[in-house]
Structure 1
Amino acid sequence: MLHILAEEGVDRVFGNPGTTELPLLDALNSADGVEYVLGLQEGSVVAMADGYARATGRPAVVSLHAACGTANGVSGLLNARRSRTPLVVLAGQQDRRHLLQDPMLSGDLAALARPAVKEAHEVRHAADLPLLLRRAFDTARRAPAGPVFLSIPMDVLAERTPVEVPARSRVAPQGPADAEATAEAARLLTGALSPVIVAGDGVGREGAVAELVAVAEALGATVLHQPLHDGVDFPYTHPLHAGMLPATHAGVREALEGHDVVLIVGTHAFTPHHYTPDHPIPDGSVVVQLDSDGAEIGRNFPAAVGLTGAVRPSLAALSAELTRGGPVEGAERRAAEAAERAAGRAAEWERTVAAHRADRPSAPLSPLAAVDAVARALPPDAVVVEEAITSGVLLRGALRLERPGGYVHTVGGGLGHGIGAAVGTRLGGQDRPVVAVLGDGCTMFGLQGLWSAARLGLAVTFVVLNNGEYRILKDTLDSWSSESTARGSYPGLDLAPPHLDFQAAARTFGVPATRVKTLEELSEAVGACGSAVGPRLIEVPIAGHEPRAGAGTDS
């Protein structure tokens, strides 16, 4: 196992150990170059590995403990599956010699994990372990990337027997999409009156941001990020960038209305949050779709042209095809119009933020003014790890990120990802400042990760936006329930009184903490992240839910 891990470039194993992992821990005593990174709960452990895999660009290894540890880690595995993060997950199973007697913590671990991973297997014989481990790494990397799970009985790990270690396969990288289909896509796009591009997370994952910029500029096409995107898939500051699509099919349809050709690149079928009966593609619009996973083409909407291939070379080929006959007709005019709209949105943002600043100059701060202050204070090379739900949507409108890898999120939606992901991001060789922007509820799901940040001495700044409630649920409830609005009551959705004291919680885990009272204090605290030498938590009291005008009316 250790030989294969070394050949696969594994230098860390993220885990929370139990008795069934003791043979692995014992072997790591004599292993050079492999560090065991301890987390206090499996949810934090999986999130750390997720952040690490994204930062390094290679599969990360997770060690879980028996049935209980697997169950604790499933939420993080669901996140990794949705975000297409390559993980190899090793879970210690009970000794085979008494499995039939239902020993403590035993169970069908592979069945427990299977819905959350690409593949799940139990190793029955020591001779099978090398082959299954090689296969796990290959499967985790292959598009669509994701977690692969191996249940390994304790006595298998401890067994001393000759085994054959298969050589690592040398797999050629995926190439560009079919040339004929690419030419057809270019004909549709150059003939469009109002093309639009949806930038999915496949663009950022595959390092294709520059190539997508070239395609967008060739067409003069507006670019929208996929709903709740996980990364920087197009520069936020580019005049063709028009923000993020809403996370409902009705919102997507409205945003795409009036565009005759829609180029969708590297996104998983829009992943709506709330149900709406609408189809996401407007009537009369034609879809051109590109993805490295052929199963995505036409999955939820028909594609007039479907391109299957690695995103980066496919976009490069498409860009060359678009400009083969010279500048695309109408591109310059469309680009100028998009720049004018972008300037208008920026001016409107400034006016809105100014009003929010004036309305709440001290704690509890306006959520919009608070995230704007965070965004303005960030160093240009900062990496933002976001898990803030309602405030996170506002933050996306405030950020001015340009560098790929500058934003980390999980579209999976399983809470508790942010703290661990920030730890893993920093561990992954990121010399860039790492700032985690977190909601109070999300923080409580992954609080144990602060201990790992303190133990490892990682320079990560954790910004906790504390409104003392589950605001996203109150906002949603108001949209269709008259009872909650009329009564001003939201059962089960308040975290205060008493308010959670995140300064005290951080200090429990060895992380220095402060609570800010003004926007100026917040800006100063976040701005210091570039010179941080260890972890720090900033608690930001923000205003809570305000019933929407007209909420609860029949609609």
Structure 2
Amino acid sequence: MRPIEALLEIARDEGVTRIFGNPGTTELPLMDALVEAPDLEYVLGLQEGSVVAMADGYARASRRPALVSLHVAAGVANGLIGMLNALRSRTPLVIVAGQQDRRHLVQDPMLSGDLVGLAAAATKSALEVHHAHDLPIMLRRAFALAARPPAGPVLLSVPMDLLEEETDVTLPARSPVSAPGAPGTGVADAAALLAGAERPVVVAGDGVGRAGAVRELVELAERLGAAVYHQPMNDGVDFPGGHPLYAGMLAPRNAAVRAVLEAHDAALIVGCHAFMPHHYTPGPAVPDGLAIVQVDEDAAEIGRNFAVRHGLTGDLAATLRALTGELAGRVPAAAGRIERIGAAHARARAETEAAATAAYGPAPMDPGAAAHAVAAGLPGGAVVVEEAITVGLRLRAVLRQDRPGSYVHTVGGGLGWGIGAAVGTSLADPDRPVVAVLGDGCAMFGLQGLWSAARYRVPAAFVVMNNGEYRTLKDTLDSGGGASAQHGRYVGMDLAPPALDWQSAARLFGVDSVRAGSADELRDAVAGAKHLDGPLLIEAPITGHKAGR
């Protein structure tokens, strides 16, 4: 079996049915081989940032590693932002990057470069294949490593001449990668600490959703009678948004997290990568003296940024079930806590809903009203792919997504991810409506992804929140009271003039579009996503920084 044949056969055996890429000369052996491999669809993107974003969305929705093909040093560099997002969001990707022909690498040919060096900081592992007989085993290792907790992207640099060799290579068998087992000790002590707490709290990290352990966390929280917060800028649904115990998302600042946790005497932190602050505030996220039980699949997370009383490493679902079992009959106050916490949360949600609906009106819309209109219009079973920065925070406050996988975000923060991720999400799960909520600045970073949406007739709605500015930067400057806030002038933060013409942008890529003239029209346009048979861009004009002060 030739190396290129081995690559395709291993891909099939690992469950790959689509390869995401943008080809160049170093990928010609792969592209030629795919002519005789109709079972492996090549999904074309116009730029590597969109390619990796599509693979990211696809891997999350399909719950298995996605295969990506990138072209030489320039292609790897363009794809780095997607790799950084995948690394932070722990998305399993296997990236095969074409290297220049080895027979003249010593001459420093055009397109060549240190692919491994470029990718090293943005991947779990980056290696170059030097011998044809090493390719099969290194590719097997890449798939296993990408999926093993903590999951993430793995890159292999493969010289193009290596794929064309006539050398016969051996195909190694696939070794199943099992999930971590439940911890053998510590569960009873951890449960005793939680049972004895008077004011317990739970922080649900994205590891819960990735592990498919949402139901188990719900049962534990109910057994304990504890409010549940999502980790800062959570990437998915790790606890049902409509549950009475759900308290919302922790803000990504140490001071804000600390202010919440100070009201409690014990915390259960599950599947959470530290607290990942965004804006700096002095002091730690965890108050002194807080008794913490931390549960994670990755042993390196236990006590990483704060001291814990009990750290449990193992399969999240199994560990949570074990804790719940230990708590049986030991928390008689749980029912009363649930009633009290649920009533407080219901009042807060009603106030948020009332404020948002009161702001409904014609375009340009109030950002809170626009966010509410999207949430109100979502079809049943819809997946929200969110990359909207300021409006995204308002959307989180009104979304009530309960189904795991129905909300997708990237904590990586590399802009331009949302359009491609929505395309990949829809390709992996075409029976669910997909609604991407995008800031206009974010969308411009990944606009090429609309072409792939049109080419593959992806039935997704792309809602562009158009305020013509980088509002989050202006808001941050205002909070600091600097010269920009004092003079009302902001350098390099306005996208008009000239104004971005989103209807023309959609037409350029062959995508239908509409402009929502009011919050009601936006709600109705989003509701229509369930009937789409191809992509639709919905422009939602919203008020900007000065009007929204």
Output the CA distance in 1 between the equivalents of 2:134 and 2:357.
63
**Residue identity in the other structure for 2:367:** P
**Quick one: distance in 2 between partners of 1:378 and 1:309?**
36
Query: For residues 287 and 548 of structure 1, do their structure 2 counterparts lie closer, same or farther at Cα, with a shift above 3 Å needed?
Result: farther
Q: 1:336 aligns with which of 321, 332, 339?
A: 339
> Is this contact kept in 1: 2:353–2:398, CA < 8 A?
no
- Are 1:284 and 2:293 an aligned pair? no
Q: Secondary structure of the residue that 2:546 maps to in structure 1?
A: coil
- Picking from 98, 105, 119, the partner of 1:99 is 105
Indicate if the aligned counterparts of 2:386 and 2:436 stay in contact, CA closer than 8 A.
yes
Secondary structure class of the residue paired with 2:186: helix
Tell me the distance in 2 between the aligned counterparts of 1:275 and 1:126.
Answer: 49
- 1:307 is displaced (CA, Å) by 0.5
Where 1:75 maps in the other structure, the secondary structure is: helix
TM-superposed deviation, 1:548:
8.8
Report the CA distance between 1:487 and its aligned residue.
1.2
CA separation in 2, counterparts of 1:143 and 1:302? 22
Change in CA separation of 1:548 and 1:286 when aligned onto 2, cut-off 3 Å:
farther
Counterpart secondary structure, 1:273: coil
Is 1:433 aligned to residue 436 of structure 2?
Answer: no
Deviation for aligned residue 1:328: 1.1
User: Cα distance 1:548–1:15, how it changes in 2: closer, same or farther (>3 A)?
Assistant: closer
Q: Which residue of 1 aligns with 2:403?
A: 403
Paired amino acid for 2:362? S
Q: Which residue of 2 aligns with 1:235?
A: 240
**Does 2:227 align with 1:222?**
yes
Aligned counterparts of 1:31 and 1:332: Cα–Cα separation in 2: 58
Deviations 1:494-520 (A, max 9, x none): 001221111110110000001111111
Amino acid at match of 1:487: H
Structure 2 partner of 1:133: 139
Residues 97, 42 of structure 1: CA spacing in aligned structure 2 closer, same or farther, 3 A cutoff?
A: same
Aligned to 1:64: 70
Cα separation, 2, equivalents of 1:165 and 1:322: 49
Whether contact under 8 Å (1:485, 1:547) holds in the other structure is no
Question: Mapping of 1:222-371 within 5 angstroms?
Answer: 222-323=227-328, 326=329, 328-357=331-360, 361-371=361-371
| Conserved? CA contact 2:148–2:177, under 8 Å | no
Shift of residue 536, structure 1, vs aligned partner: 0.3
Distance 1:343 1:154 in 2: 60
Instruction: Report the counterpart of residue 3 of structure 2 in structure 1.
Output: none
CA distance in 2, matches of 1:192, 1:227: 24
Partner of 2:50: 44
Q: What SS is found at the alignment partner of 2:350?
A: helix
* CA offset digits 1:518-555 (Å, max 9, x no partner): 11111111110111111000001000113897xxxxxx
- Structure 2 unmatched ranges of 5 or more: 1-6
Write out the 4+ residue segments of structure 1 that deviate beyond 6 Å after TM superposition: none
Q: Which amino acid aligns with 2:529?
A: C
- Answer whether contact 2:144 2:177 (CA < 8 A) is retained: no
Is 1:55–1:430's contact at 8 Å kept on the other side of the alignment? Answer: no
- State the alpha-carbon separation in 2 of the partners of residues 49 and 421 from structure 1: 7
Return the alpha-carbon distance in structure 2 between the equivalents of residues 348 and 153 of structure 1: 60
2-side partners of 1:354 and 1:39: how far apart?
39
Task: Classify the secondary structure of the residue corresponding to 1:461.
Answer: strand
CA contact (8 A) 1:62 1:89 kept: yes
**Partner Cα separation in structure 1 for residue 455 and residue 52 of structure 2:** 17
Task: Report the CA distance between 1:276 and its aligned residue.
Answer: 1.0
Deviations 1:93-124 (A, max 9, x none): 00001111111110110110010000000011
Structure 1 residue matching 2:480: 3-state secondary structure: coil
> Residue in 1 aligned with 2:491?
491
Task: Assess if the C-alpha contact under 8 Å between 2:204 and 2:271 holds in 1.
Answer: yes
Pair 1:467 & 2:467 matched:
yes
The one-character-per-residue Cα deviations of 1:170-221 (angstroms, maximum 9, x if unpaired) are 333321123x311111000000000000000001111111000000000110
Deviation at 1:32, TM superposition (A): 3.7
The answer on 1:25 being equivalent to 2:28 is: no
Letter in 2 for 1:296: E
1:47-196 correspondence to structure 2 within 5 Å: 47-178=53-184, 180-196=185-201
Q: Match for residue 553 of structure 1?
A: none
Match of 2:365, SS?
coil
Between the two proteins, the alignment pairs up a number of residues equal to: 543
Tell me the secondary structure at the aligned position of residue 121 of structure 1: strand
- Separation in structure 2 between the aligned mates of residue 34 and residue 49 of structure 1, nearest angstrom: 14
Query: What amino acid maps onto 1:390 in structure 2?
Result: T
Residues in 1 aligned to 2:380 and 2:221: alpha-carbon distance in whole angstroms: 24
Aligned 8 A contact 1:44 1:416 in 2:
yes
Q: Which piece of structure 1 moves more, 404-413 or 165-174? A: 165-174
The letter for the 2-side match of 1:422 is A
The question of 1:208 aligning with 2:213 is answered yes
Q: Does 1:529 align with 2:534?
A: no
The SS at the match of 1:196 is strand
CA drift at 1:430: 3.7
Q: What TM-score results when the alignment is normalised by the length of structure 1?
A: 0.96
What secondary structure does 1:479 align onto?
A: helix
Partners of 2:221 and 2:333 in 1: how far apart? Answer: 13
Q: How does 1:372-391 map to 2 (within 5 A)?
A: 372-391=372-391
Deviation at 1:350, TM superposition (A): 2.5
Superposition deviation, residue 237 in structure 1: 0.4
Q: Secondary structure at the match of 2:500?
A: coil
The 1-side partners of 2:340 and 2:48 are apart by 50
In structure 2, C-alpha distance between the alignment counterparts of 1:74 and 1:31, rounded to whole Å: 28
In 1, the alpha carbon distance for the partners of 2:385 and 2:266 equals: 33
